[in-house]
Structure 1
Amino acid sequence: MPDAPLTQVLAPDVSPRPSACPGLWRIVTARDGGICRIKLPGGVLLADQADAVADAAERFAGGVIEATNRGNLQVRGIGADHHGLLDALLAAGLGPREAAGDDVRNLMLSPLAGLDPLMLLDVRPLAAQLLRMLETTPRLHELSAKFAVQLDGGEGLAMLEHPHDLWLSAVRLEQRTWLAFGLAGCPAQQRALGAVPVEQGLALVRAVLERFLDLARPEQSRMRHLLDTCPADAFVAGLGLAIRRDAAVLAWRRPASRAKWLGVLPQRQGLALGVAPPLGRLTPAMLRGAARLAREAGDGSLRLSPWQSLLLPGFDSARAHEGLAELAALGLLCSAGQPLARLVACTGSRGCAKAQADTKADAVVLAGLLHQGGPGSVHLSGCPRSCAVAHVAPATLLARAPGRYDLYLRDARLPGFGVLRATDLTPEEAGALLDLPTEHLDD
């Protein structure tokens, strides 16, 4: 007799700890149905897995697939057959076989990790070790479902503004590669607290996570909470490792990332194609079409990015422009100058009870008012939680009522979204302000 599907043995909706965050094994209810988040190792999705996600979204949900701002996927509008959905995704190799190991797989890499021409270090071997440790170490399953780690190999294409509980970044010192690290921040805005040789990267992460669990009270679920009562220097001093903390390390700053993420992108060998689903939402047809191209002219994989976009690595250079045309015909965005490519919107009131406005629909209206190649990214948020963007965007439209927004511009000197520039705007009024060529909106 064949084995029963795993989800008939272990209920998919129950994780070791309750959380508001969706996961593979925890389907969270929203206004538009259930949400299942698929955490991709290093953002990598094989073409056959992409087909499986597309099939599952059509069969068990409403056909809505979202690219998230941490390089993952989620399926929305899930119906009653949670077991069927989970069995289909697990059969495609899209998660650990135990629920306890799913929540903690929050490790973000560059979407061109191992391929970027500017990288100092191929972080993929270390990333595989870290994910294995997170999945298989029971004590680490006590970490919050939001607790996150970033591993940066010095790539030109890297998201450096998302805050993480622990970040590690490759740096060259005295002809040797080290891993600088920081806590409760990001490489773009924070000086390193120290550095270790690359070969000690796994030991450093384990020491940081175990020390956090040793010290954190139940209400201190994130590193920033713990640092309110345990200063960073004291935390590092108790790690039990030889940490390099000389002037060269403490003065180092991560160079800014200016690489483009849409269009034809260079790799160390060959090239990649970068495309984005409008407002982060993929249809099954888009995902299947991208998977087909990845098989035919790429390396057979897709990579999800923290810009809510897709990369097709290892692409045949002779087919690059033809490939972009095929992806554009599917409805995917291929240029950062396209107005919709500069807009990020949360689910909005159609899918979330907390949202004050239909942000997706209002973003489409706003995009029609912005000229091609205009100012930097604009974030439409249905409530103050800012679910769609992990860092502060150059401009934020915060909903206050259906079809009405307050406009904020980022200011590093101010907390939250920045400085309030205008209130109670319609999307049309916001468009008139945001289309002005002002330096405050440069991304």
Structure 2
Amino acid sequence: MLAAMSTAALPPSSQATAVSRDRGDACPGTLRLHGADDGALARIRVPGGVLTTAQAEALADAAQRFGDGRLHLTSRGNVQVRGLADECGAELAELLTGAGLLPSRGHERVRNIVASPLSGLDGHGLCDVRPWLIGLDALLCANEAARELSGRFLFALDDGRGDVARLDPDVTVRATPDGGALLGLGPGDAAVRVAAVHAARAAMTAAETFLDEVRASGNHVWRVAELGPAQDRLTHRLHARLTAAGIAFDERGRDGGRADGPPPGIVGAALSVHVPLGSFSPHQWRELVRTAPDELRLTPWRGVVVPMRGAIPDRLTDALARLTATGLVGDPASPWPRVGACIGRPGCAKSHADVRLDAARGLEAADGGGLPLYWSGCERRCGHPRGDRIDVVAGPDGRYRLSTAAAGREPRTVTMDDPSRLAAALAAITS
């Protein structure tokens, strides 16, 4: 049975009240494992999603030796290893340290940096953000105060195309057509332009500004947006800190342009594949590492970009065919990039359903709603994407609730008592 209703629109984020956390941030990392029904979970931060092939092999080794053998991508381009034994933490940390994946134990949970994954590969960005990424990560790991940042605080380095800038980062650095960098702090429209050479230092200064406000206000918050009206003071604090740091700037508004993540297929001098539900089998990961000349770039859209500079077209075509033969997605027309899901049962005790199985069964109907679908086993909706989508949330009564979340549209909700009726539910919610 299906039942539909309209729901009231949520207030805009600018009207949000401040949040005050009454506990510390429990976001998992490599040194702080999270207990799940399928064993402990480690989340390994991969700034910019960039892995050398040696580091990728080390992750596969970690999953095989300590976990369930699979590697899982997050919505920030990080990697999770699941099914860990509680006592493996020290050995896991030693392995990752040896691979260069744990450069500072005090900062391992705060190295949350997303970067345009096609930067320098397809000719569409305004600059190659790799120097910004290397610089910011080094500054972050060297900054003692940065250890106070939440494991949820996010930096975005956008090469001007507008892909990672739309992921609701706390600090955004976006390349400008005049060769500069636009720095934004939080979700507002205000920004400042700095010289590109100062981009990494300006981003670190913005994070320090946030910490200044947290200390001064006494608000225990994890993200800039949680400051509520106090965000207005950040602009003045940021200007003062930039001036003190000797970073020249001028005020600008943010560019509203937005772009999607890399489509599957051959894109410029790279291969792009989507990973269904963000979960790699050992065979898929090994084939990726075997294909990559020197590095992989994990994306926040649960995909992988493999730089193939200098490769002839036939080699690119053959390599893509080998990857898709493992079950990775190289066809931009596939519905898989439009479908996501949390871990669900049996991995999560809070989940009311095996959402990954239901998402796979409903794949053919996924295009019927005109929006991406995200399946969640409970109301927490862990890992749900930003932007327009349809949330498919399992309830304790065994039914799913489908809700639209799209800018400029009145939210609607449909309940669905059987996942086999997904096509009818999507038709009802979009009619």
- TM class by shorter chain equals 0.7 to 0.9
Q: Do the aligned partners of 2:342 and 2:377 also contact (CA within 8 Å) in 1?
A: yes
Cα distance in 2 for partners of 1:396, 1:105 equals 29
Cα distance in 1 for partners of 2:406, 2:388 equals 10
Q: 1:237 to 1:50 in 2, by over 3 A?
A: closer
Q: Is the aligned partner of 1:64 residue 2:58? A: no
Residue 177 of structure 1: aligned partner: 179
Q: CA deviation at 1:355?
A: 2.1
Deviation per CA, 1:276-310, whole angstroms, max 9, x where unpaired? 2211100111111110111xxxx321110011011
Residue 306 of structure 1: aligned partner: 300
Residue 220 of structure 1: aligned partner: 221
Matches within 5 A, 1:278-293: 278-293=276-291
Q: Do the aligned partners of 2:412 and 2:429 also contact (CA within 8 Å) in 1?
A: no
Deviation per CA, 1:341-360, whole angstroms, max 9, x where unpaired? 32100011311222222211
Cα distance in 2 for partners of 1:379, 1:223 equals 25
Matches within 5 A, 1:311-330: 311-314=305-308, 316=311, 317-330=313-326
Cα distance in 2 for partners of 1:227, 1:354 equals 30
- Determine which of 328, 335, 347 is the counterpart of 1:332: 328
Matches within 5 A, 1:114-129: 114-129=120-135
Q: 1:202 to 1:272 in 2, by over 3 A?
A: closer
Q: Do the aligned partners of 1:375 and 1:435 also contact (CA within 8 Å) in 2?
A: no
Cα distance in 2 for partners of 1:437, 1:265 equals 34
Quick one: which amino acid aligns to residue 87 of structure 1? E
Residue 18 of structure 2: aligned partner: none
Residue 201 of structure 1: aligned partner: 199
Residue 44 of structure 1: aligned partner: 50
Q: Do the aligned partners of 2:165 and 2:172 also contact (CA within 8 Å) in 1?
A: no
Q: CA deviation at 1:200?
A: 2.6
- Determine which of 93, 100, 107 is the counterpart of 1:93: 100
Quick one: which amino acid aligns to residue 102 of structure 2? G
Cα distance in 1 for partners of 2:195, 2:42 equals 37
Deviation per CA, 1:372-415, whole angstroms, max 9, x where unpaired? x984421112223332224144211122137521111123258x
Deviation per CA, 1:159-208, whole angstroms, max 9, x where unpaired? 34211111111112xxx3222222223xxxx5342222222323322322
Aligned CA-pair RMSD:
2.5
Quick one: which amino acid aligns to residue 205 of structure 1? A
Question: Which secondary structure state, in structure 1, belongs to the residue aligned with residue 131 of structure 2?
Answer: helix
Range that drifts further, 118-127 or 128-137? 118-127
Cα distance in 2 for partners of 1:259, 1:225 equals 26
Q: Do the aligned partners of 2:136 and 2:201 also contact (CA within 8 Å) in 1?
A: no
Residue 388 of structure 1: aligned partner: 383
Q: 1:44 to 1:202 in 2, by over 3 A?
A: closer
Question: Which secondary structure state, in structure 2, belongs to the residue aligned with residue 255 of structure 1?
Answer: coil
Between Structure 1 and Structure 2, how many residues are aligned? 398
Q: 1:146 to 1:260 in 2, by over 3 A?
A: closer
Range that drifts further, 75-84 or 231-240? 231-240
Cα distance in 1 for partners of 2:153, 2:175 equals 21
Residue 433 of structure 1: aligned partner: 425
Range that drifts further, 176-185 or 342-351? 176-185
- Determine which of 139, 161, 165 is the counterpart of 2:145: 139
Cα distance in 2 for partners of 1:330, 1:403 equals 33
Residue 166 of structure 1: aligned partner: 171
Q: Do the aligned partners of 2:388 and 2:407 also contact (CA within 8 Å) in 1?
A: no
Q: CA deviation at 1:259?
A: 6.4
Question: Which secondary structure state, in structure 1, belongs to the residue aligned with residue 319 of structure 2?
Answer: helix
Quick one: which amino acid aligns to residue 277 of structure 2? L
Quick one: which amino acid aligns to residue 326 of structure 1? R
Identity between Structure 1 and Structure 2 (%): 33
Unaligned runs of 5+ in 2: 1-22
Q: Do the aligned partners of 1:31 and 1:351 also contact (CA within 8 Å) in 2?
A: yes
Q: Do the aligned partners of 1:358 and 1:403 also contact (CA within 8 Å) in 2?
A: no
Q: Do the aligned partners of 2:48 and 2:133 also contact (CA within 8 Å) in 1?
A: yes
Q: Do the aligned partners of 2:272 and 2:330 also contact (CA within 8 Å) in 1?
A: yes
Quick one: which amino acid aligns to residue 209 of structure 2? R
